[in-house]
Amino acid sequence: MESGKKLDIRNEFLRKLIHIGYSAVPITYLFTDKVFIVTLTAIFSVLMIAIDLLRNRWDWLGNLYMTVLGKILRGHERDTSKAVFTGGTYIVLSSLFCFLFFEKHVAISAMLITTFCDTAAALYGKHFGKMKVFDKTIEGSIVFFLVGLVVLYFMGLLSGVFLLPAILALLVTTILELLPINIDDNVLIPFTFVISFNGLSMLLGVGCVC
């Protein structure tokens, strides 16, 4: 979802840098277990929800929040009458959902696709893209898919029986990310990937990885 005021290049880059920084969480999951990562993201979720709700009620917190993060917020995130949560809150909640309900490597892949692919597509598409589709570009989507292939390769999903469902799930995610769907990308991307991957795995007879 790309609604709201456009950010200048410096603030857009800073926003995406923070976005990529969240990849530390799914990477941490590679070296820990499900109990640890679910506990960690559950704590993050409670804190993020509390901040988003209280900054709309406590002026001092709202002013502090805008002073620190205001420059990297989208227009709809600034307008509390339009959005309760920011993209940061949505990505934490999405990771909690994926880690809780889906197989480890599939969940990690979904969150790395969300952080790396979305960032690469947005930065490349906005500054080098020429072929516009709605509010995004074909070039950005191509970059999204290519970076996704790299993520899946390193996560081991582009081998064995999961090669086809992994590629198809990434393709479905790439297409839906391009469309003007009124759902935050930090929710749309990981949910689309994990659900598509599981559904396609069962459809193709390679088993459910829940």
- At residue 13, the pLDDT reads 67
Q: 194, 205, 114: which is closest to 157 by C-alpha? A: 194
Which residue did the predictor score with more confidence, 20 or 66?
Answer: 20
Burial of residue 51 (number of CB atoms within 10 Å: 0-12, 13-18, 19+): middle
Calpha distance 118→125 (Å, rounded):
10
Q: Is the pLDDT of residue 20 over 80?
A: yes
What is the mean pLDDT of the segment spanning 159-183?
94
- At residue 3, the pLDDT reads 42
Calpha distance 106→197 (Å, rounded):
8
Q: Residue 68's CB: how many other CB atoms inside 10 A?
A: 9
- At residue 128, the pLDDT reads 83
Q: Is the pLDDT of residue 79 over 90?
A: no
Instruction: Tell me, rounded to whole angstroms, the distance of Cα 72 from its chain centroid.
Output: 16
- At residue 22, the pLDDT reads 93
Task: Pinpoint the alpha helices (H) of 2-103.
Answer: 9-21, 24-30, 34-54, 59-69, 75-78, 87-101
Whether 29 and 37 have beta carbons less than 8 Å apart is answered as yes
Tokens representing 62 are 């709202």
What is the mean pLDDT of the segment spanning 17-30?
92
Which residue did the predictor score with more confidence, 2 or 130?
Answer: 130
How far is the CA of 132 from the CAs of 2, 97, 100, 188, in angstroms? 14, 32, 37, 20
Tokens representing 148 are 């996704």
> Phi, psi at residue 133, to the nearest 5°?
-130, 110
pLDDT-based confidence at residue 46 (cuts at 50, 70, 90): very high
pLDDT-based confidence at residue 2 (cuts at 50, 70, 90): very low
Q: Is the pLDDT of residue 47 over 90?
A: yes
Q: How much is the pTM?
A: 0.87
- At residue 55, the pLDDT reads 79
Dump pLDDT digits (tens) for 91-138: 999 999 999 999 999 999 999 999 999 999 988 887 787 888 888 899
What is the mean pLDDT of the segment spanning 45-69?
79
What is the mean pLDDT of the segment spanning 156-168?
92
pLDDT-based confidence at residue 70 (cuts at 50, 70, 90): low
DSSP state of 186: H
Tokens representing 141 are 């989507």
